[in-house]
Structure 1
Amino acid sequence: MTAPKTAIKARDIMTPRVVTIRSDASVDDAVALMVERHISGLPVVDAEGKLVGMITEGDLLQRSEIGTERRRPHWLQMLFSPGRLADDYTQARGRKVNQVMTQEVVSATEDTPLETIVALMSRKGIKRVPIVMNEGPIGMVSRADVLRALAHAFATGAPAGPRTDEQILADIEAEFARSGCIPTALIDVSVTDGVVALRGAVTDDRERVAAKVAVENVPGVKAVRDHLAWVEPMSGTVIPSAEDEAAAKAEGPRAA
């Protein structure tokens, strides 16, 4: 199957020698550094080199210097606490990195699995995760690094050798069961000379796509024939697959 044999760790894909900035540096220095290095975020360190925050493009979008400072109607300001309003003011006008940076940093270690890092990115809505050792940043895993890892996986995927129809069928059935979203009880799978035929029904057309994806990822599959009908749960209407519908139109109306 396509699952990697060895889990990818942060050390395998991180960008080393990460560019950092001191917490007491000026915001304009941070902006200049980000522009010069073509990067969208900087780990912030203290005098001892320990990670204390992150400053990113998102922290610098609403600034008074360019007229993008957040302005709320007076009535809405009355609903916010003085502290919240003070935060907004500081974010828009602070001159030091430690005044505008994000202090709650999500970080990882060299041994953190890539799947954990990706889960953090998705859950926290962040684009990069600093990799730390002894509380100091030693690298960075960004979304771009994840894409490079994916590109490498595509490029190095070894073509499958000859496989029997029985082996292909066993892998398909195992993947269907593992997916948790494919209605295995409603789908019949057959394999002939590497060509897979799917027959039966789905109750959500997205299940059809998932089934085809599962089959296409099995080594040795040459083609997929979709004969799955979509049974609309509310009305019971049966809609044939696009492949079957096209075949029926090609045959034309049957003689009475």
Structure 2
Amino acid sequence: MLTAKDVMTSEVVTVKPDTAVQDIAQLLYSQRISGVPVVDAQEKVVGMVSEGDLMSHVGAVGDAPPKRSWWLRLLGDAPDTAENYTRSHGRTAQDVMSRKVLSVSEDTPLADIARLLEKNRIKRVPVLTDGKLVGLISRANLLRGLAVAKPQQASITADDRALSDAITKELRKHPWGAFTNVIVQDGVAHLWGFIDAESERRAITLIAEEVSGVRGVEDHLTFRPVYEG
């Protein structure tokens, strides 16, 4: 069966706990992603920052969040109110991040990951090995796995994984290929990700074709969306 290791994004964009909120917003925009893991000095995940976390920040909405009535403040949970204030006014990742982080292992079946995302209404989950971040699974990764999996053989062989690792290793040597997601099944390499020029598409395809053992290449690369301000 397909597992997290087969479809995860292994070159993960991350931030540190002291990364400024504005820098995180710029990173999400430039990378065209909707969330990033927050990792400490030991590369362990301590939180997640999503678009939703930033949209409630006063820097994004341009005003303070609505005040609670005095009787709700009196009956409410003071620590929670303080936490909400910190999240809406904080300056760094550790102020605005979600600290409850769910995770999976490289061997977690995709079906289990899909249920985890659906049950908790989240869009992505980090993949950990010995507590350290080794990848990220998003809904898009799950769809890619579903797209390449054959109904009669929804699994990836050891040879396919080796080919995927070899292609990914070569792609990481180039800035325009480092974030390409590679899934190999039956010796056919499926390439997913964003490109900024047709020359990048050709170069990424050539790298995959030149890896010994690859029987074919399926190009699913798309141009990076342009967001107008």
TM-score, normalised by the number of residues in structure 1: 0.55
Check whether the contact 1:62–1:69 (CA below 8 A) recurs between aligned residues.
no
1:70 aligns to 2:65 (yes or no): yes
Within-5 A mapping of 1:66-215: 66-67=61-62, 69-74=64-69, 75-153=71-149, 156-157=150-151
Question: 1:121 is matched by which residue type in structure 2?
Answer: L
Equivalent residue runs for 1:43-54 within 5 Å = 43-54=37-48
Confirm or deny: 8 A CA contact 1:70 1:88 kept in the other structure.
no
- Say if 2:29 is the partner of 1:24: no
Q: How far did 1:157 drift?
A: 5.0
- Report the Cα offset of residue 13 of structure 1: 0.9
Q: What is the alpha-carbon distance in structure 2 between the residues aligned to residue 68 and residue 130 of structure 1?
A: 32
Match of 1:15 in 2: 9
Matched AA of 2:50: T
Offset from partner CA, 1:115-169 (integer Å, 9 cap, x none)? 111111111111101011232211111001111122223xx457xxxxxxxxxxx
**Over 6 Å off, 4+ runs:** none
**Quick one: distance in 2 between partners of 1:54 and 1:157?**
34
TM superposition shift of 1:77: 3.0
1:254 corresponds in structure 2 to none
Percent identity over the alignment is: 41
Q: Report the AA paired with residue 109 of structure 2.
A: P
The residue type paired with residue 130 of structure 2 is N
- d(CA) in 1 for partners of 2:145 and 2:113? 13
Instruction: Give me the TM-score of the superposition, normalised by structure 2.
Output: 0.61
In the alignment, the residues of structure 2 paired with residue 24 and residue 136 of structure 1 have an alpha-carbon distance, to the nearest angstrom, of: 19
Gaps of 5+ in 2: 153-229
RMSD value, Cα = 1.6
- Any unmatched runs of 5+ in structure 1? 1-6, 159-256
CA deviations over 1:81-114 (Å, ceiling 9, x no partner): 1111111111110001111111110011111111
Task: Give, as a single letter, the amino acid of the residue that structure 2 aligns with 1:67.
Answer: G
* Cα shift readout 1:38-81 (whole Å, capped 9, x = no counterpart): 11110110012111111111211212122364314414333321
Alpha-carbon separation, structure 1, partners of 2:75 and 2:32? 39
The one-letter code of the counterpart of 1:38 is R
* Larger CA Rg, structure 1 vs 2: 1
Report the alpha carbon displacement of residue 15 of structure 1 after superposing the two structures with TM.
1.1
SS where residue 91 of structure 1 aligns? helix
* SS in structure 2 at match of 1:15: coil
